[in-house]
């Protein structure tokens, strides 16, 4: 083989090797960027959900505080309920994003939060109805059940935070 042909073949092989390395490097970088983008999407979804939960839970706390009074101010309670319902809708919207962004394990924990929220809201609604009817027979029992369910909800939200952190940091 003459030196000119060997030089051309060597240059071609070198160029192909360089292109191959550049392709692999570019692909690796694109995958890393996609993983980062995915983590950011999940982080935003989880943060939005937790923020909506926080706002809704403050509204629920305000209602329960008003109902703890010996004679609750019904207009204050009713205003709180309207605010709570509006904020609960925001929680459901934020939950849909969490479900879409995944993973399924995170959605499963969010489902537990939803279930515990619903159980606490049921007690709250019964207490609101009783306050409107002037019924006080179940009041002490309902306040105790509400406190128990608030604690359970708090623990479940903590579970969601841990699962979200694990997911965002690459656990899922």
Q: Which domains does the chain carry?
A: 41-171 (1.20.120)
Query: Could you report the per-residue pLDDT of 58-88, keeping only the tens digit for each?
Result: 999 999 999 998 889 999 999 999 999 999 9
Q: How far apart are CA 120 and CA 124, in angstroms?
A: 6
DSSP 135: -
pLDDT more than 70, % of the chain: 95
- pLDDT at position 107 over 70: yes
Sorted by sequence, the CB contacts under 8 Å of residue 73 that are 6+ apart come out as 66
Task: Please give the pLDDT value at position 38.
Answer: 87
171 pLDDT higher than 60: no
- How many other C-beta atoms are found inside a 10 Å radius of the C-beta of residue 106? 24
Of 79, 78, 81, 88, nearest to 55 (Cα)?
A: 88
- Mind listing the pLDDT tens digit for each residue in 10-32? 777 777 777 676 667 776 777 87
Helix (H, G, I), strand (E, B) or coil at 97: helix
Residue 65 near residue 57 (C-beta atoms within 8 A): no
**Who has greater pLDDT, 36 or 150?**
150
């Amino acid at each position: 083989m003459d030196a000119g042909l060997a030089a051309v073949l060597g240059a071609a092989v070198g160029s192909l090797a360089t292109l191959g390395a550049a392709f692999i490097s570019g692909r690796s970088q694109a995958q890393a960027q996609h993983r980062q983008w995915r983590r950011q999407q999940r982080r935003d979804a989880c943060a939005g959900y937790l923020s909506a939960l926080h706002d809704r839970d403050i509204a629920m706390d305000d209602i329960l505080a008003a109902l703890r009074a010996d004679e609750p101010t019904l207009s204050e309670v009713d205003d709180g309920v309207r605010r709570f319902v509006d904020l609960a809708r925001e929680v459901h919207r934020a939950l849909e994003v969490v479900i879409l962004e995944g993973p399924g394990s995170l959605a499963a924990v969010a489902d537990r939060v939803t279930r515990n929220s619903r159980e606490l809201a049921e007690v709250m609604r019964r207490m609101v109805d009783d306050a409107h009817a002037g019924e006080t027979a179940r009041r002490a029992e309902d306040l105790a059940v509400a406190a128990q369910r608030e604690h359970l909800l708090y623990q479940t939200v903590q579970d969601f935070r841990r699962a979200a952190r694990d997911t965002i940091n690459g656990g899922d």
